[in-house]
Amino acid sequence: MTDTPVKEPVITLSAGPVAAFPRVLRAMSRPVHYDFDPFFQQFYEDVTLKAAKALRVKQPALILHCEPAPGIEAAAASLQPGDKLQLGDDFGNEANPRALLLQTCAGESVGWVPDLLVEFARQLRETGGTVQLLQNNRDAPMHARLLVRLSGHASPDTSTFAGGVWPQLPRDTVH
């Protein structure tokens, strides 16, 4: 044994419940500064100026806190017919671990590929397929806003609209 004290780890990952470190308890006991509080307003202004410096822009950055949906809405609203899009994996999707995000070429998410088309879209993506915006129906609900063309190659035995609520059709009925 040595006389060296054990240092508090920076991050501890463990199954809970576990005792909280005193530093965490102290931080949790501090008052919460809301957006109307002068302390928060000064803190926010300092952060916006630092963000502007990091982004190399003259004006303070506008930092908004919100859920992802408004960001997706804003990115989707800016799209124009003819814009090229891409398909990205949505690894954090708990409803469908194979879900695909529809993204701008800059990587901004603007929606999801419907589950019934995910496997088809994956196959097109894997063979170098493309996604192009045909129509942006800004007045439509978000899930029906974007009409896109998926182009590429799929194997002849690929089924779309299969599984879930869609019954499998006999092969000879598909034209």
Look up the pTM and report it: 0.56
Q: Which of 76, 120, 134, 129 is nearest to 102 (CA)?
A: 76
Give me Rg for the CA atoms of the chain: 24
Query: Which tens digit of pLDDT belongs to each residue from 118-166?
Result: 888 999 999 999 999 999 988 888 778 899 999 998 888 776 766 555 6
Q: Which of 79, 87, 139 is nearest to 113 (CA)?
A: 87
Pairwise pLDDT comparison (132 vs 24), residue with the higher score: 132
Beta pairing partners, 102: 87, 111
The burial of 88, by beta-carbon neighbours within 10 Å (0-12 exposed, 13-18 middle, 19 or more buried), is given as: middle
Band of the pLDDT at 104, cuts 50, 70, 90? very high
The span from the CA of 137 to the CA of 100, in Å, is 21
Map residue 120 onto helix, strand or coil: helix
The span from the CA of 18 to the CA of 22, in Å, is 12
